[in-house]
Structure 1
């Protein structure tokens, strides 16, 4: 049924009045980077380049996101590619939306995409194999629908009350591994669903002018006419592009170094927003000092109706409405945790559906790093003891578990206790084994080596071992469950 509905949406919806612009260049994308990192755009010139022209139309029952994609893709793999594979995350059961692509052309040749049974994987056969180093141009039409009032898993793709959460709403290339081919995971019982390469996003979005729209990246151009606003965003060297929107959002802004920091909140939450802003600024200071710089021009924190506590997206983090209050201590912890994800997941990528501990455990450990920054060693030690007690209490009832497995290998309680709590404590164990100075240097090297790239647990282990001058096979086997 969803395929029939989307066919109607694609071909009955009013056509977009969005003029195609010239192809984006390094100068355009560099506007979304801090000055010290603008040159990275040219250094990573072969990442995929997405140019979207979109219209967002909400009504009382649903919201439609329709438009076009113009993709420039360079084959940086060692293999000749016979197809490209896109992910339509809106079609996952855990997202609960509907999405489809149509009118696909590759280098001017019309091709038919092939969807899997979930609709979340679309294979685009190429007219001829794309050799390593070769480039192609792909055009497609796209439409997605989110239904008002429906809730699925974490409500990350939702239209609740007046708020739109359109996380990972656009078609994204999957990740190609020369050993295993294109990534095709469709299970999403818990944790994060998205696995994608760094790319450049040039997104033009037209929406009703009463909406306040918040996205990944930075707003570069804005025009308004006839009750509609057209917004153009540059999101350089990011793994995804997500959209939040509401007529009710109010905004508090500040600056950290040369980074614009915005907190978007619902009416009546001004005091909570002021606290959240201070936590974000303190977190950015802590992680910049401990790990290295945040590279993007902007960071946005948004209050949403997610049921997950908080969720990270590149350049954008969300924290749940139901903990967005001064009396909830979880509010601070979640906010700090999600800021840390801008280092671990956003800048340094990993397969969150296979190795969630790689970003979640280091991110949760970073909460203790934050406490060291704001409250000294006593703050750090208290945070680490909390993580230790969290997982030991669980293992006291359920038995010992390793931190290194996929989300489907845990239930909701063990996922939190083991991947987050025990995982954070594992990084503390490593810091003690290596000495704090060596450990800090290793984590800084990890960021520098894998910024904009995808890391594996084996990459991290090698960097730690190089810094320590010893092998950590036994430690990784004991805590993670596998080693190099």
Structure 2
């Protein structure tokens, strides 16, 4: 029996692959052959992928190389079940989750047919008879499952809301690896008022957004798969890091079509791209025919690409205002600052996309900044275009690099991302600090406990007020209590200790020195419904860093 942890509001508040041929230069030949209606099973013909750098492991002391990943699919031959069906070599140099994706996108139809290979190593300490996948796209009626295949045999599945359960033919022992092939399609819905905050999975007249569109194996904690019940307010995804190799072929689009997606990118033909992303918690992309691309390279050699539309340039009485140029300039400044404070950026590229939906949204290596903020740009720094750009960029540290449970502990990433806005102004535009507190925070008279989960909120405003805005007040009060130097040392240590993990409130607070933790008692009592976060010893003292 599979146990999937689904948290309800009540519980939480009580506390078509058509035939295609791709040609790769540089020693890569890719053949794609899949039957209509997805009747043919999949197998991978493996091709070498050259590793260029190590990527952080979920265990900070382990260095792992980029694994050779499969990049093409062909017909399978069923194999007899035997005791050695699983690879139990326990090779910890490879990521525990690897996804190889071939997506054929029909731009006119706003749909995609997908073959996805999943390689999963069971690092959980118990044998597994089934796997649970988180698939948000299904909850929003955008996902259509074809088959899940293991060694030529179609596996039994159960698809409900945002979760897909796949039953294995035999138990997957701890330390062993299984490889599954999946066939499915995605049909996007138009972005509208009712789903404006979920526009990262939808389309406008000029843009296809594919976020949280691929099945990902859920984290497993205490013998349960961790998949939260979706809702409109906030975010509910909890994702482990994985390695991604994604082939995208776009049909029925003009020659100007482009794909905004993270990771190392190679153009494989006129309408085909390959993206490789190591250590991504997800893989999101946006497709459009009218993208303008602006690029800058940071001091550390990371490329920042900004994909915008012509309307990012606005005619004003004083001349043209280029919102895209402004956003890229501020992102460049913020990036260098965040690397200095929070540590190295985890990927080779950072992608910013003008999104035709409300506000913004973060993914691994890619963020959206809402079109309305470009429309509303009037020059200068005092605007949401500046703030949302640097906010979403900071999520590359507070989400992509250091993960957390965005449903139960949303403050861990959102308050840090919002406070990163202030830190940015403090460094580059100090005369605008007081403006920020008034414009961004205090004008909304924020209230509510910072440690509430998303199911305690029925509207977006009250959620933002408590988690984001009261959250920054809390962080600032901690800073004033323990001192600026010690505060940034604490945050930097959290960035190191939480890297590659799904961090918890216990982790961040345990990184304070004992005296500093004790000195924040009043702050925690003011902002948290449960201020006593760390366990105590027999003498009543909290366990913290020595």
Do both share a fold (TM > 0.5)? yes
> Match for residue 88 of structure 1?
135
| CA–CA distance in structure 1, aligned partners of residues 443 and 93 of structure 2 | 41
Q: 2:250 aligns with which of 179, 198, 207?
A: 207
Q: 2:201 aligns with which of 157, 160, 169?
A: 157
1:189·1:408 contact (CA, 8 Å) conserved in 2? no
| CA–CA distance in structure 1, aligned partners of residues 263 and 98 of structure 2 | 14
> Match for residue 370 of structure 1?
424
| 2:408 is the alignment partner of 1:354 | yes
Q: 2:397 aligns with which of 322, 343, 358?
A: 343
> Match for residue 27 of structure 1?
50
| TM-score scaled by length of structure 2 | 0.77
1:32·1:218 contact (CA, 8 Å) conserved in 2? no
1:187 CA displacement: 2.3
Q: 1:278 to 1:145 in 2, by over 3 A?
A: same
1:372 CA displacement: 1.4
| 2:175 is the alignment partner of 1:133 | yes
> If you compute each CA radius of gyration, which structure gives the higher value, 1 or 2?
2
Q: 1:433 to 1:99 in 2, by over 3 A?
A: same
1:475 CA displacement: 3.6
1:90 CA displacement: 1.3
1:140-195, CA deviations, whole angstroms, 9 ceiling, x for partnerless residues?
A: 1121111346552422211111211111211111121125x012322222122422
> Match for residue 14 of structure 1?
18
Mapping for residues 277-296 of structure 1, pairs under 5 Å: 277-296=328-347
Q: 2:96 aligns with which of 47, 51, 57?
A: 47
> Match for residue 321 of structure 1?
371
Q: 1:384 to 1:461 in 2, by over 3 A?
A: farther
2:280·2:400 contact (CA, 8 Å) conserved in 1? yes
| 2:407 is the alignment partner of 1:403 | no
Mapping for residues 59-78 of structure 1, pairs under 5 Å: 59=108, 62-78=109-125
1:70 CA displacement: 1.2
| 2:232 is the alignment partner of 1:189 | yes
Q: 1:110 aligns with which of 147, 154, 169?
A: 154
1:19-51, CA deviations, whole angstroms, 9 ceiling, x for partnerless residues?
A: 267547673474999xxxx96545862330101
> Match for residue 453 of structure 1?
501
Q: 1:40 to 1:286 in 2, by over 3 A?
A: farther
Q: 1:433 to 1:107 in 2, by over 3 A?
A: farther
1:127 CA displacement: 1.4
Q: 1:144 to 1:360 in 2, by over 3 A?
A: same
SS where residue 65 of structure 1 aligns? strand
Q: 1:259 aligns with which of 281, 298, 302?
A: 302
| CA–CA distance in structure 2, aligned partners of residues 142 and 288 of structure 1 | 38
Higher helix share: 1
1:347 CA displacement: 0.6
1:112-154, CA deviations, whole angstroms, 9 ceiling, x for partnerless residues?
A: 21112x2x21100111221221111111112111134655242
Q: 1:269 to 1:190 in 2, by over 3 A?
A: same
RMSD, aligned α-carbons: 2.6
> Match for residue 185 of structure 2?
143
| CA–CA distance in structure 1, aligned partners of residues 112 and 330 of structure 2 | 33
1:472 CA displacement: 4.6
1:251 CA displacement: 0.8
SS where residue 147 of structure 2 aligns? strand
Give structure 2 stretches of 5+ with no counterpart. Answer: 1-15, 23-30, 33-43, 57-61, 67-91, 314-321, 535-546
> Match for residue 283 of structure 2?
241
Give structure 1 stretches of 5+ with no counterpart. Answer: 1-9, 396-400
